[in-house]
Every structure is written in structure tokens, then in C-alpha cells.
């Protein structure tokens, strides 16, 4: 049965043993890195507003592969069997906080990035629309002003 934990923002490293077949839900209070110290983990990241699609979903995290998490980002981690191990060991390493940098990031950089993403979507949509209309150009332009002979009202 999954348990739910919130990782603290203390600078000390936190370690946890997770037995095979068990899952834990983590929601860190600060940004940091989830490391697998031994074994292999299956991590499922929630899709949030600021989560790039490449980062969302399921990830296998093994020794030497870290999983960066933002503050408040929810992840469900399950021990995944690897070479007969019956448990894994996870370690949480919080990133150092810089108040001015995080405020700048949250209030200026992220909204600017959102605007850039939105404008890129608009530009791609406009190009697709123009390409679609260009494909119908002969139907939109060629038939205008012509009268079909079989339908003329005053046939000769």
C-alpha cells in the first residue's frame, strides 16, 4: 500500500529503504534530486502546469541516474526488482535555496517561458493553417466567376 510523505527542506541528506512491492508518494517542499543508492526504482511523475512533457510519466531510476524534482512536484516511487534484491535505498538531496534567484525564476523567467511557448504554438498553428489553405487554392480560386455550361439559364 502506498504511503505518503513530504520531504523536508533540511540540508541534511535523507535516506529511506523501500521494500520490493511497496510504493511511496513523495512531494518535496523544496527542489532537489532523488537518488537511488542501491537497486532500481520505478517513478511516476505527475503532470503539472510547468512539467515538460518529456519529464512527465514513468521513469526507471537506477544507481547513477538522478531524478530532479521541483518543490511541490508529486512523484510515486516503487521498488523495482533488480538482480534478486528485495529492497532499494533512496536518498533525497535538496538543492540550495537562493531567495532572489527563485523569486526571479517564479515571477519573471517562468511567465516569459510560458509566453514563448504560447507564441511558438500560435506560429506553428498559423503555418499549418496556411499550408492547409494552400492545398485548397485551386478550389478556392479557380471556380470563381465561371458558369457551368449545363447549368446556364440562357443556353444558346
Print the SS3 string covering 65-88.
Answer: CCEEECCCCCEEEEEECCCCCCEE
pLDDT in tens, 70-113: 888 888 999 887 777 888 888 988 887 665 567 787 788 888 98
pLDDT of residue 87: 86
Contact 67, 33 (CB under 8 A): yes
pLDDT of residue 107: 84
Contact 72, 27 (CB under 8 A): yes
Whether residue 48 is predicted with pLDDT greater than 80 in this model: the reply is no
Reported pTM: 0.53
77 or 51, higher pLDDT? 77
pLDDT in tens, 109-132: 888 988 998 999 999 999 999 988
pLDDT of residue 100: 57
Matching residue, cell 529503504: 17
Whether residue 62 is predicted with pLDDT greater than 70 in this model: the reply is yes
**Rounded-to-integer distance, Cα 109 and Cα 103, Å:** 9
**Rounded-to-integer distance, Cα 19 and Cα 86, Å:** 6
Tally of CB atoms within 10 A around 83: 6
Whether residue 1 is predicted with pLDDT greater than 90 in this model: the reply is no
3-state helix, strand, coil in the chain (%, to 5): 30, 30, 40
**Rounded-to-integer distance, Cα 47 and Cα 58, Å:** 11
Whether residue 41 is predicted with pLDDT greater than 50 in this model: the reply is yes
pLDDT of residue 6: 46
Amino acid at each position: 500500500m502506498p504511503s505518503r510523505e513530504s520531504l523536508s527542506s533540511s540540508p541534511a541528506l535523507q535516506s529511506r529503504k523501500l521494500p520490493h512491492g511497496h510504493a511511496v508518494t513523495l512531494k518535496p517542499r523544496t527542489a532537489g534530486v532523488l537518488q537511488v543508492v542501491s537497486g532500481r526504482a520505478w517513478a511516476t511523475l505527475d503532470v503539472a502546469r510547468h512539467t515538460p512533457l518529456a519529464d512527465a510519466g514513468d521513469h526507471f531510476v537506477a544507481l547513477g541516474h538522478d531524478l530532479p524534482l521541483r518543490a511541490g512536484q508529486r512523484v510515486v516511487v516503487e521498488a523495482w526488482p533488480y538482480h534478486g534484491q528485495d529492497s532499494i535505498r533512496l536518498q533525497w538531496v535538496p538543492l540550495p535555496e537562493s531567495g532572489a534567484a527563485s523569486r526571479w525564476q517564479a515571477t519573471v523567467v517562468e511567465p516569459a517561458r510560458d509566453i514563448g511557448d504560447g507564441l511558438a504554438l500560435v506560429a506553428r498553428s498559423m503555418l499549418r493553417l496556411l499550408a492547409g489553405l494552400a492545398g485548397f487554392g485551386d478550389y478556392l480560386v479557380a471556380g470563381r466567376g465561371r458558369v457551368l455550361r449545363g447549368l446556364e439559364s440562357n443556353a444558346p
